[in-house]
Structure 1
């Protein structure tokens, strides 16, 4: 599944109609969730039927396309199934009970309710919300794909305007030459990662560099009166600041992941639990700013596209174990140099990267580069491309 995004251009009344459609989606999603809470043994099809009942009961729901209403109900069901799965897997802590949505920013159409122009430079929405024809501006060319391959069309509202996303069903695969290289990666906060060859990539620290402007924009929002137009303008400026940092992170992760995958036939990396690591309030901001999880997701994606092997291994003890002789050398987090009795002296992260590579190469039962990957401890790690693409909408 590919997601192409275009900037939408139109009149102010069209954008107001898009905002109204987004509010309708949030209303249907929350009503479907309440219907599930109040009734027993409710399934996905019951929520789809309930969306049709809401259309008869509320005129503004009837103005939205029928498939868009079904997509809204499916969003509620997605949160419900995620809660059920966490309960079955006995995930420690909170299981993620579905919550009512307060700030929805997208509306999703399926195969009806929209019509793409022949020149692929504009799109018209044919439901009764009054969105009409929107001009599209972007770098992607939709002429390479058939209309039947477009399975979803999303209207997304962001701080700098409205966007149109096309979800195209196609299997992407590219053939590149074999390099014969294998690499292990140890991510960190000082350097973004250090590989098993001793090469370190600098951590860009985007939020640290833009923190001064963020704080200034936040102070402006705080000083404005709630509900005033000036406060609304200040919020838009603050949103643009955060959006720029988010885009910088994604651009850095995508380009670096593509380079790493194309330069190596096998890539081993740590199977980190970021959710647990950010519980340390002293390091939470720096860990989130590094965006290790996004880097890993794109490495796995490009591993599938280019036919490379990606292996997630357990990080336990990789910094303590000597990569030369295997001796355990205890060291605190502040100790940045690995010194072993065998005479091995090197940077702590370099030593860990070498251990990660050796564990990855010795993994038994590796089954693929995407979806099902066995780490060094025999645990199954999975990444669902549909979930990641859905999260991109609100990122």
Structure 2
């Protein structure tokens, strides 16, 4: 069975810079070839072959690296994975399962994937361009036992870095049980009580939420006064994200 686990990364300052370069470069490659594929379709829509595919853009990536040498600082397979994601997005669009792919924006849904050459030793994870390993916190014992890692996905959320490790284990999918009164419960959300279950259990309202809500309300009010596109506004958005 293919499963995944997520751990929080604690990179040093040099690793943070390199992670940010990976986010930016993968976003650049995705957006560059999204534009190229759109342009190709406009000029070849009446031709027998009206669109580019993954292999076309992968060949074009070789020339793009010569034009932008800083792309060599990035794990080559991570750049190729960006082309895979773009190709899948177009396939879903052609099959009418999704909208037309959109350009990625800095600071929104930042991630990159690493498909090979991944190793976990102790509380460090090693992959191309990060030969000294990045320190993480998670289920260390469980991760050290992983033998077949299919892929890792590095993400950034509210200023923090995370690693999702996708791997295979020997467990089988659990048998799906039919719903019944014995294995299901009804939930009624309320005001005085956070929730009341159909089996009679009542869950009290967590008091800390009121304190957090006050801080969030104050930060939202301050954010509304910040100038759109300014650095102060971006910093304030990050504070609000962390509070959430």
* TM-score normalised over the length of structure 1: 0.48
The alpha-carbon distance between structure 1 residues 180 and 110, as it changes in their structure 2 partners (threshold 3 A), is: closer
Q: For 2:220 and 2:155, how far apart are their aligned partners in 1?
A: 24
* 1:122–1:134 contact (8 Å) kept in structure 2: yes
CA RMSD in angstroms comes to 3.8
CA deviations 1:157-198 (Å, max 9, x no partner) are: 11151112211133643769x999724979887579999xx5
CA deviations 1:286-331 (Å, max 9, x no partner) are: xxxxxxxxxxxxxxxxxxxxxxxxxxxxxxxxxxxxxxxxxxxxxx
Bigger RCO of structures 1 and 2 (CA < 8 A, at least 6 apart): 2
1:96, distance to aligned residue in structure 2 (A): 1.0
1:62, distance to aligned residue in structure 2 (A): 2.4
Q: For 1:133 and 1:122, how far apart are their aligned partners in 2?
A: 5
The residue aligned with 1:3 is 4
The residue aligned with 2:83 is 73
Q: For 2:21 and 2:215, how far apart are their aligned partners in 1?
A: 32
1:137, distance to aligned residue in structure 2 (A): 1.2
Among candidates 211, 219, 240, match of residue 238 of structure 1:
240
The residue aligned with 2:57 is 47
The alpha-carbon distance between structure 1 residues 132 and 205, as it changes in their structure 2 partners (threshold 3 A), is: farther
* 1:14–1:132 contact (8 Å) kept in structure 2: no
Q: For 2:133 and 2:63, how far apart are their aligned partners in 1?
A: 29
CA deviations 1:242-301 (Å, max 9, x no partner) are: 3xxxxxxxxxxxxxxxxxxxxxxxxxxxxxxxxxxxxxxxxxxxxxxxxxxxxxxxxxxx
* 2:121–2:144 contact (8 Å) kept in structure 1: no
The alpha-carbon distance between structure 1 residues 235 and 143, as it changes in their structure 2 partners (threshold 3 A), is: same
1:43, distance to aligned residue in structure 2 (A): 2.1
Q: For 1:116 and 1:214, how far apart are their aligned partners in 2?
A: 40
CA deviations 1:97-145 (Å, max 9, x no partner) are: 1111113411111103xx52533x1123433xx7853111112521222
* 1:23–1:104 contact (8 Å) kept in structure 2: no
- Taking the TM superposition and a 5 Å limit, the aligned residue runs for 1:143-292 are 143-146=144-147, 149-170=148-169, 172-173=171-172, 182-183=180-181, 190=189, 199=199, 211-225=213-227, 230-242=232-244
**Unaligned segments of structure 1, at least 5 residues:** 88-94, 243-395
1:86 and 2:101 matched: no
Larger relative strand fraction: 2
* TM-score normalised over the length of structure 2: 0.73
1:228, distance to aligned residue in structure 2 (A): 5.9
State the SS of the aligned residue for 2:58: helix
Among candidates 110, 115, 134, match of residue 110 of structure 1:
115
CA deviations 1:58-89 (Å, max 9, x no partner) are: 112222122111101111112112212226xx
Q: For 1:136 and 1:50, how far apart are their aligned partners in 2?
A: 36
The residue aligned with 2:44 is none
**Unaligned segments of structure 2, at least 5 residues:** 41-49
1:41, distance to aligned residue in structure 2 (A): 2.8
Q: For 2:170 and 2:33, how far apart are their aligned partners in 1?
A: 33
The alpha-carbon distance between structure 1 residues 224 and 143, as it changes in their structure 2 partners (threshold 3 A), is: same
- Taking the TM superposition and a 5 Å limit, the aligned residue runs for 1:18-33 are 18-33=19-34
Instruction: Say which one has the larger Rg.
Output: 1
